[in-house]
Amino acid sequence: MRPSYKIVLLDIEGTTTPIPFVHEILFPYVKKNLAKFLDENWSENEMKENIQLLREQAMKDVSEGLAGANLIPEETDDNVDEVKKAIIQNIEWQMSFDRKIKALKSFQGYIWKSGFISGELETIVYNDVIEAMNKWKDFEIKIFIYSSGSVSAQKLLFGHSDKGNLLKYFSGYFDTTIGSKLEKDSYLNIAKHIGVEQKDIVFLSDNVKEIHAAKNAGFQTAIVDRPNNAPLSDDDRKDNVVFTNFLQIFTHNSYIDSLG
């Protein structure tokens, strides 16, 4: 029986990948290696570009009076250590509340790249995700990713997984440059970018607020309830389709074409 959708849009953390992998492996990797990474890559153009993003965001944060925000000075011949110290302080401050913002996510992706390439990092992907993606491919349904992490970080995650290189499964990637995951317009923008009607996209995420935004945009949606995910309220379960396993989508009436 054919699915009632043409496109699958997937969240990552808590959906395709366990939350502990992000919070207990990826985030600590950044903090542990940050100082060394700055020293080893300081002269690289990619480093300079990422620092400038952080610097511009820091100026905005300080001007808005955000508690804990600090400026990152422009580099001179005499203040390199001061600049590095300010960068570390800024990144650790942003990571302390898991900030979903481009400057931080871009830098995290940059440092993770070295870990994935070296083999120190390997993404954990749930077994049912692979099984479901193979089924979607059989139905010629395209699969896209939408995550707060940068597109480059998304490609790293799925290119270096415990199930191998999974990039062949995906037709495209979206990050917060297209809009916040909590805003209806972001999902409208995604549908427009892909070139399909909203009703033809099913979005799977562990985040109830993201699901509400996508639903308000006219998407088909389902909450993914994995171990270690935030608990769902009775209302969450009553008002939404909830899956504990991707394969459940293939037997749920709401997601199967009535014509079979």
* CATH code given to domain 7-17+123-255: 3.40.50.1000
pLDDT digit string, tens, across residues 211-239 = 999 999 999 999 999 999 999 999 999 99
Domain ranges of the chain: 7-17+123-255, 23-118
Burial annotation 73-100 (CB, 10 A radius, 16+ → b, else e): eeeeeeeeeebbbbbebbbebbbeeeeb
Q: What is the pTM of this model?
A: 0.88
Q: Give 111-165 pLDDT, tens digit per residue.
A: 999 999 999 999 999 999 999 999 999 999 999 999 998 899 999 999 999 999 9
- Three-class DSSP category at 102: helix
- Given this model, what pLDDT does residue 62 score? 97
Contact 208, 225 (CB under 8 A): no
**Three-class DSSP category at 250:** helix
Q: Cα–Cα distance between 8 and 22 in angstroms, integer?
A: 22
CATH of domain 23-118: 1.10.720.60
- 202 has a pLDDT exceeding 70: yes
Averaged confidence pLDDT in the chain: 96
Q: What is the pLDDT of residues 27-36, one digit of tens each?
A: 999 999 999 9
pLDDT for 257: 85
Residue 259: pLDDT over 50: no
Two structure tokens written together for 52 = 């400038």
